[in-house]
């Protein structure tokens, strides 16, 4: 299969998938290397496709979803607190799109998350623990932002109240 046809099929897969698709899965599907998939994704992005890479795989963001993106600023340290914060967000109906810190030297540093449910949070936390990775917020003494996709303002306000109650929300 030629590159343009493969990229069209990759785009279709990502558009119709309800969850993230791992690059290795795409490589196996098309019998190509993982690096070819990385290049295909780069070319699709250059064509204007809104594809993001998350810890769970590639996802196509749709501008047609009836939801809104909101940003919140939180502050906490520790894995336990990070898990609790993320659980509050997804358990109340949000998708956690990313985490961002404002580093004094490097500026904005963003990590794509795409956490949609409790299982995604569990998998993410387990990966952090297994790899002994430090959260981005370690760079800013716990201060960080999240972009959330929420279905409505009531959901967002519920999340704000729960985070404030736990002391994680920064004003």
Cα–chain center distance at 61? 11
CATH number at residue 25: 1.10.10.10
Q: What is the pLDDT of residues 95-136, one digit of tens each?
A: 999 999 988 888 889 898 989 999 999 999 999 999 998 888
Together in a domain, 83 and 135 = yes
144 carries a ligand binding annotation: yes
On whether residue 115 sits in a domain, the answer given is yes
Answer whether 97's CB lies under 8 Å from 108's CB.
Answer: no
Together in a domain, 142 and 79 = yes
81 carries a ligand binding annotation: no
Taking only the tens of pLDDT, the chain with its 171 residues reads 898 999 999 999 998 888 889 999 999 999 999 889 988 988 888 787 888 887 788 888 765 454 588 889 999 988 999 999 999 999 999 999 999 998 888 888 989 898 999 999 999 999 999 999 888 888 888 899 998 989 888 999 999 999 999 999 886
Together in a domain, 37 and 105 = no
- From the CB of residue 155, how many other CB atoms can be counted at a distance below 10 Å? 19
Together in a domain, 128 and 149 = yes
Together in a domain, 100 and 48 = no
**Number of structural domains in the chain:** 2
The pTM for the full model equals 0.69
118 carries a ligand binding annotation: no
On whether residue 171 sits in a domain, the answer given is no
146 carries a ligand binding annotation: yes
**What domain range includes position 23?**
3-60
């Amino acid at each position: 299969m030629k590159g343009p046809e493969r990229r069209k099929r990759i785009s279709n897969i990502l558009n119709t998938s309800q969850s993230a698709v791992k690059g290795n899965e795409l490589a196996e599907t098309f019998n190509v290397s993982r690096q070819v998939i990385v290049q295909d994704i780069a070319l699709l992005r250059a064509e204007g496709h809104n594809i993001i890479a998350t810890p769970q795989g590639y996802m196509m963001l749709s501008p047609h979803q009836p939801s809104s993106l909101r940003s919140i600023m939180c502050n906490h340290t520790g894995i336990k607190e990070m898990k609790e914060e993320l659980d509050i967000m997804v358990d109340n109906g949000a998708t956690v799109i990313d985490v961002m810190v404002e580093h004094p030297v490097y500026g904005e540093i963003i990590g794509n998350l795409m956490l949609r449910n409790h299982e995604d949070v569990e998998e993410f936390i387990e990966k952090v623990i297994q790899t002994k990775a430090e959260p981005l917020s370690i760079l800013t003494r716990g201060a960080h932002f999240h972009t959330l996709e929420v279905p409505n303002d009531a959901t967002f306000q519920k999340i704000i109240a729960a985070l404030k109650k736990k002391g994680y929300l920064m004003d």
